[in-house]
Structure 1
Amino acid sequence: MSNLISIQKAVNNFKTLIEDSIKEGGEDAKQAMIRSSRPILNLHEAVKSELRKAGIAKDFIFPPLNSRTPELKLAGSRKQKKQDVCVVPNHKKAEQILEEGLLQDIVDEFGEMFTERTIAINIRSQISSIQKNFDTLYERTTSEAINLHDRCPKMCMGEVYMIAVPEYDDKAIRQSKVVFKKVSQALFLKYIKSFQAINNRKGIEKNFYKYEKVCLLIVDFSKSPAKIYNTNAELIKDGLIPEDSTVDISELSWSKFVPELLETYSERFGK
């Protein structure tokens, strides 16, 4: 399979794009780079690559590999939203006019059955201002799961959330410098516990705020190449969590994300 990208290559590319923009033009250039989506699209491609490695036919992945369009605009109970990466079912879409709620009289080009059998994966990143933006981003993450699960309870959803640990220093960025803040163990533990709380949704009757699988992608961009953390032992060794910590990142790891998401899908809909 050609043109597939590893997660290591993806985060290295992300690091290069962000840091080059900071050095060239400070905060404005960094924000322009983020708005271009070029850094985060590397993670999109890594997710799609993992799906291909897991045996998903390329024609069922949207957007296709090495393309940013078309994104599927799926309808939930409250809103329609474009999804970052989707795996569509071998099932015909059927246009449907929604009959209730905020989307009453809106045309859903896919229909409920097609939507429920689509795997929707959203991909986000937070590399600075991690404390300030946590509540807003976490609420947005859970609300998107609620929106689709409320309409399609059997639907399988995935979330890849990358955080920079340590995070980039906002003040230094404004001076076009790449500097990293000291890690707050308490804040970092808050992230791990929060994403553990919305991971591994089992059953279809409740817990609409959860995802069938979450990957909390923990990356140290201060190292070259960027370092991806996969185990508690690595986090403890680098002083990111206390030695007596009871949190476990194994269920949030990249290696488990696609296989377990597809496993849950097979349990609900068959292969």
Structure 2
Amino acid sequence: METIDEAIARIKYLIEKSIIDGGVEAKNNLIRTQGPICILHDVAKASFMRLGVNPDYINPPYGEHNGELKLAGFFKCKDQDICILPGNVSAEEEILLFDGILKGKKDPFGFDLTQKILSVNVRSQLSSIAKNFDTLYERTFAEALNLHLRCPNMVLGEFYMIPVFEYDDNLAKEHRVGFRNNRKIQEHIQKYIYSFGAVNNRSTISGEEYKYERVCLLIVDFNRDTPKIYNTDDELKADGLLPEHTTASINNMNFSTFASTLMSIYQQRFGLTSFR
């Protein structure tokens, strides 16, 4: 199983090889195949397995990326990138009775199993970072809201990767690897941290349904021989990526504590023996 550093290094290698071999079209095709994001799926699954989660309870299994579970929330049914299912709860088909577009629909899993699934969604924004931010952010908190309105005890995680610098598509057209300069980099990074911090650390089961129990905002500088992952505010400030006196903080959104925090919250609500 890869570490997060190994996974990020492999993503860098695949993207840059595609640029050198096939230019910007090959890079875009690689991203469309979801190859890089699937690497993140597996490194997230591995982080739970290292904490003792039975691999048989992870869906889709480690190394596989088809067959996601479609869970019913309050507004809609939605495929979940990673689901950890409890081994001591069985699915029981349920007819949904609450008002909304799902009224009268069949839920093959039922309320009890759905609420005891630990779900993590994984996303990355490798290009056009500044574009469509509002739409992407609205989608992020809407998915937590959808599930928590139906299942208030459900433990949800969001794993989101952004690059410090985007690959330069003009250079990629010439099969050259390079990065776009961003003179507003501090503003850009600060915006993402504030935005994801606002939907992080849901600690109650009777409110803040739009929040995740834990968010990981993975900020990566690919413009190095070995890509750098930022885990602390001090690291970001040292490299000029955050203003010195900002209140934006990534300290509670790093990867190193992502899985363990979700597991701790799950243990408080349901116990952990169901994952062993």
- Output the amino acid matched with 1:59: D
**Structure 1: runs of 5 or more not aligned:** none
Deviation, 1:28, is: 2.4
Instruction: Indicate the residue corresponding to 1:187 in structure 2.
Output: 188
Q: Which residue does 1:262 correspond to in 2? A: 263
SS at match of 1:92: coil
Asked if structure 2 preserves the Cα contact closer than 8 Å seen for 1:62 and 1:69, the reply is no
Aligned to 1:101: 100
- What is the identity, as a one-letter code, of the residue corresponding to 1:162? M
Q: Could you tell which deviates more after superposition, 46-55 or 23-32?
A: 23-32
Once the two structures are overlaid, the 10-residue window that deviates more, 25-34 or 109-118, is: 25-34
| 3-state SS, counterpart of residue 16 of structure 1 | helix
**Distance in 2 (alpha carbons) for counterparts of 1:104 and 1:26:** 48
The 3 A distance-change label for structure 1 pair 24 and 155 is same
Aligned counterpart for 2:46 among listed residues 43, 49, 53? 49
Aligned ranges 1:1-271 → 2 under 5 Å: 4-90=1-87, 91-99=89-97, 100-183=99-182, 184-271=185-272
CA shift at 1:232, angstroms? 1.6
Q: Percent identity, please.
A: 47
Q: Deviations over 1:208-260 (max 9, x none)?
A: 11000000001001112211111122111211112222322110010110011
Query: How many angstroms apart in 2 are the aligned matches of 1:112 and 1:86?
Result: 15
CA–CA distance in structure 2, aligned partners of residues 58 and 244 of structure 1:
43
Question: SS of the counterpart of 2:160?
Answer: strand
Q: Secondary structure at the match of 2:170?
A: helix
C-alpha separation between the residues in 2 aligned to 1:140 and 1:176?
Answer: 34
Provide, for residues 56-92 of structure 1, a one-character-per-residue CA deviation record: whole Å limited to 9, x for no partner. Answer: 1111111111111321111111111111111111210
- The worse-fitting range, judged by mean Cα deviation, of 124-133 and 167-176 is 167-176
Instruction: State which drifts further: 74-83 or 29-38.
Output: 29-38
Q: What code does the residue aligned with 2:181 have?
A: K
Deviations 1:178-212 (CA, angstroms, capped at 9, x unpaired): 22122421111000111111000011111111000
Local SS of the residue matching 1:214: strand
What SS does structure 1 have at the residue aligned with 2:68? coil
Contact kept? 1:129, 1:170, Cα under 8 Å? no
Cα shift at 1:50 = 0.5
Q: Deviations over 1:105-140 (max 9, x none)?
A: 322111111000001100000122111121111111
Q: Distance in 2 between matches of 1:155 and 1:174?
A: 45
Which has the larger displacement, 66-75 or 17-26?
17-26
Count of residues in Structure 1 that have an aligned counterpart in Structure 2: 268
Of 47-56 and 228-237, more deviation after overlay is shown by 228-237
Instruction: Report the residue type matching 2:194 in the other structure.
Output: K
Note the C-alpha offset of 1:163. 0.3
Contact 1:8 1:228 in 2 (8 A): yes
Residue pair 1:78, 1:101 contacting (<8 A) in 2 also: yes
What SS does structure 1 have at the residue aligned with 2:252?
Answer: helix
In structure 2, the residue corresponding to 1:103 is in which secondary structure?
A: coil
Q: Is the 8 A contact 1:220 1:227 kept in 2?
A: yes
Letter in 2 for 1:210: K
Q: 1:162 offset after TM fit, Å?
A: 0.3
Partners of 1:166 and 1:243 lie apart in 2 by 20
CA distance in 2, matches of 1:181, 1:236: 20
Q: Give the structure-2-normalised TM-score.
A: 0.93
* 3-state SS of 1:163 partner: strand
